[in-house]
A and B are shown apart, each in its own frame.
Chain A
Amino acid sequence: EVQLVESGGGLVQPGRSMKLSCAASGFTFSNYGMAWVRQAPTKGLEWVATISYDGSSTYYRDSVKGRFTISRDNAKSTLYLQMNSLRSEDTATYYCTRVNNPYWYFDFWGPGTMVTVSS
C-alpha cells in the first residue's frame, strides 16, 4: 500500500525558514517523480514544486522560485521542501504527492502538514 506521510509543519514567523519532510513507503520511491501541492485554508489547490525521479530536474511555481527548494533522498525514500523567507501567503496545508508519468498527474497524496506563517 502506497503511503506518504508529511512532517515538519507548524507556526513560523514571516521571513523565517521551515523544512518539510515526506516519508514514502509501499512503492519504489526512486522510480517516481514527486511534488508538493498546497491548499490555503478554505481555498483551492496550488502546485508548488516537482522533482524528477533521480533529483536531476526540479520545477517551481514563480511565487516560490528562489525561496523554496525541493529535494529528495532516494536511499531514505524521503522527499523534502526547504522553505525560506516565508510570507503570510505561504500559509497552507502542504501535501506530498506522487507524480505519474507521462501524464504528470498526482496519483497519491499524503494527509498533509499545516504551515502557518504569522507573527
Chain B
Amino acid sequence: DTVLTQSPALAVSPGERVTISCRASESVSTRMHWYQQKPGQQPKLLIYGASNLESGVPARFSGSGSGTDFTLTIDPVEANDTATYFCQQSWNDPYTFGAGTKLELK
C-alpha cells in the first residue's frame, strides 16, 4: 500500500503562514487531495488534484506538489483553522490517507 507520511502536529499564531507536508512512499502523480476535520465533525474536502481549490473553500488554502511530495498551505491562518488535516491519494490501489497533522493555534 502507498504510505503517506505527515508531521503529527504544528502550532502557529493567527496571521502566520503554515505549510503542512505529505510525502508518499511512491509516486501518486497529482492524485493527492486534502481534507480538514474539526473535532466531532466529518472531514471536509479542501483541495483536490494536488492544487485545485474546492468550491466554497477560502482562497487562504492552497495546495502544491506532484509525484511524492505535496504541501498544503494556509496563509494567513485564522483561529477557526484549528483542526486535523489529512492527505489522501487516489493513484494507487488501495486509496490511502495520511495519519493527519493536528494544527493548533498559539
A interface residues with partner B (beta carbon < 8 Å): 44-47, 59, 61-62, 95, 100, 103-112
Contact = CB atoms under 8 A, between A and B. Distances in A.
A45 B43 contact: yes
B86 interface: yes
Given A44-B100, A61-B94, A105-B48, 11 more contacts: A44-B97, A45-B97, A47-B94, A47-B97, A59-B93, A104-B31, A105-B33, A105-B49, A106-B45, A109-B43, A112-B42
Contacts, number: 52
A80 to B, nearest CB: 19
Interface residues of B, number: 22
Given A45-B86, A109-B44, A112-B42, A103 B49 contact: yes
Contacts of A62: 94
A34 B99 CA distance: 23
Interface in B40-79: 41-45, 48-49, 54
Contacts of B31: 103-104
A47 B95 contact: yes
The residue in B49, B54, B94, B97 that gathers the most chain A C-beta atoms within 10 A of its C-beta is B94
27 contacts: A45-B43, A45-B86, A45-B88, A45-B97, A45-B100, A46-B97, A47-B94, A47-B97, A61-B94, A62-B94, A100-B48, A103-B31, A103-B48, A103-B49, A103-B90, A104-B31, A104-B95, A105-B45, A105-B48, A105-B88, A106-B88, A107-B45, A107-B48, A107-B54, A108-B45, A110-B42, A111-B42
